[in-house]
Amino acid sequence: MIQISSISKPQPAAAAFASARIAESVPERVVTPGAAGSGAPEPSKSLKFLAAKGKAGPLRALAVRGAIETIIGPTDDRVRVLDTELAPWRMICGLRMRGPSGAGAIGTGWFVGPRTLLTAGHCVHSTQFFGGWASSIEISPGRNGAEFPFRTVRSTRFSSVNRWVEAQDPDFDMGCIHLDEPLGNEVGWFGVGALAPDELEGFLVNVSGYPGDRGGGTEQYHHKNRILRVTERRLFYDVDTFGGQSGAPVWVHETDTAPPLAVGIHAYGVGGAVDGLEANSAPRIIPEVLDQIRTWVESDGGWPQAS
C-alpha cells in the first residue's frame, strides 16, 4: 500500500485544503462518475472517427526521439480536433500558467468534477518553471484557435501530492486546479478509473491536448494507439505528443458505446521511459490516486447527487 497525501498551494486569506492521507485498502477496480455536461448534446464527429475504442489494434515501429514529450516514429500522426465545443473535447482545456516572476508556460487540463480539473504536477508546481507553485492559471475549455466556445476562467488555487512536491517523483506527477464556479456542469467531466494492470493491457488509449508546436497551445490535437506496457504506477503508449500536452487525459472507451474513462495523466515523452522502452507515458490512476482525486472533488463541493 502506497501512502500519498495532498499538498495545496498556500492561500493568503484562507487555510489550505486539508491533507488527505491514504491508508485504507481500496478495491482494484474503482471508477468515479463522468458527465456530458449541459452544453450542445449532438454527438461529435471527431469522437466517431478519431477516438480509439476497445482493445487490440495498431502498433507501428518505434523510433528514438529524445524529448520531454515526443513524436514517435517517422511521422506525426496527431489530428486536430475541430468540434471542440462537443463532448468529450470540451472537457479538455488549454492552460496558460504564470509563475511569480511573470514567466509563462502552456499545458493541458481536464475536468473531473464541476469545479475540479486534473493536470500534470509540473503544471501547478515546478521548481524548473516557477520556482515552486504557479501564481495563476487561465483555463479555456475546448479552445479552438481564436474561438472560445466557453468562458475562460482563472484560478490561483492548486494542489498536488507530497510525492511530487517534495520529491519530484515522476510516478506521481499529477496536480489539481480548483475553481470557484461550477464550469464543469456546462462542459462535463471525465469519469476516472483505477483499473488492474491485466485489465489495462491491450487497450487502445486516446490522448488529446494543446501542444506548443501546432497552434502555440491554442489548438487541440488527438492521437491514439495501444498501451505498450503497464507498470505498478505508469502507463506507456505509442502515442504522439509534444510539449504543451502535459496534463492531458489518457482515456479509454471500454466498448464502442462506452463513455470515456480516464486511466492516466499524460506527463512524459521517451525521456521518461524505463528499461529502454521508447514510448510516451502517464502516471497511472491507481486506487490511492483515485481516492485522492475524490478528496479534491469533495473539497470543491463534490459531484451532483444522482436523481
Catalytic residues: 122, 246
Strand stretches in 82-123, DSSP E: 92-98, 104-113, 116-119
Q: Are 87 and 36 in contact (CB under 8 A)?
A: yes
Q: Which of 57, 1, 4, 56 is nearest to 24 (CA)?
A: 1
> How far are the Cα atoms of 9, 20, 22, 195 from residue 4, in angstroms, in the given order?
16, 8, 6, 18
CA-derived radius of gyration, the chain? 17
Give 185: exposed, middle or buried? Use CB within 10 Å, 0-12, 13-18, 19+: middle
CA distance 278 to 256: 29
Residue spans of alpha helices (H) in 10-109: 45-50
Q: How many CB atoms lie within 10 A of CB 12?
A: 5
SS3 call for 215? helix
Long-range Cβ contacts of 165-169 (<8 Å, 24+ apart): 165/7, 165/121, 165/125, 166/7, 168/127
CA distance 216 to 98: 16
Helix then strand count (H, E) for the chain reads 6, 19
Q: Are 34 and 303 in contact (CB under 8 A)?
A: no
Q: Are 253 and 51 in contact (CB under 8 A)?
A: yes
